[in-house]
Amino acid sequence: MAKEITMSGRLVFDDGKTSVTFDKGVIKVDSAGKRVIQNVQTIQTTAETIGRGEPASGGNLPIVPGVAMFFNRDQVNSVQISSASGGLNFLKLLPGEFAGPMRLARDATLNAVAQVAAVELEYIIVED
């Protein structure tokens, strides 16, 4: 099967003086893998690995990272995501923010750390 993943991308900036829209519409992309993980993980204030186990679609663990999306469910605290333990943070989600969809590197090991207090990080990772 082809084009199993549907993604959309739009960002609008409007401060009353300047208005800019970056809209790439909707695209469909292939996924060689057949497994997906959707999870909510409590992230503490010390770095921890974002889980890739227990795919909703079954199969061996862990899945190979593919397309992902992240959502910070906390209403007060932010969370940062890095590519490995001790690695540089490449993503910061303020309270209630989301990021993605984005394609991850196949060998990505993702870590997250909450700022100030623990947060719930909701995510979906579709196997590549």
Domains of the chain by range and CATH? 32-126 (2.60.120.10)
pLDDT over 70 percentage in the chain: 91
Asked whether the predicted pLDDT for residue 58 surpasses 90, the reply is: no
pLDDT tens for each residue of 64-104 = 788 999 999 999 999 999 987 667 888 999 999 999 999 98
The SS3 of residue 60 is coil
- Contacts within 8 Å (CB) and 24+ apart, 86-91: 86/47, 87/111, 89/113
Tell me: pLDDT of 46 over 90.
Answer: yes
pLDDT band at 61 (very low <50, low <70, confident <90, very high): low
Question: pLDDT band for position 105 (50/70/90)?
Answer: confident
| Cβ-contact 21, 117 below 8 angstroms | no
Banded model confidence at residue 54, pLDDT cuts 50, 70, 90: low
Phi, psi (rounded to 5 degrees) for 101: -75, 150
Q: How confident is the model over 98-111, as a mean pLDDT?
A: 90
Type of residue found at 106: R
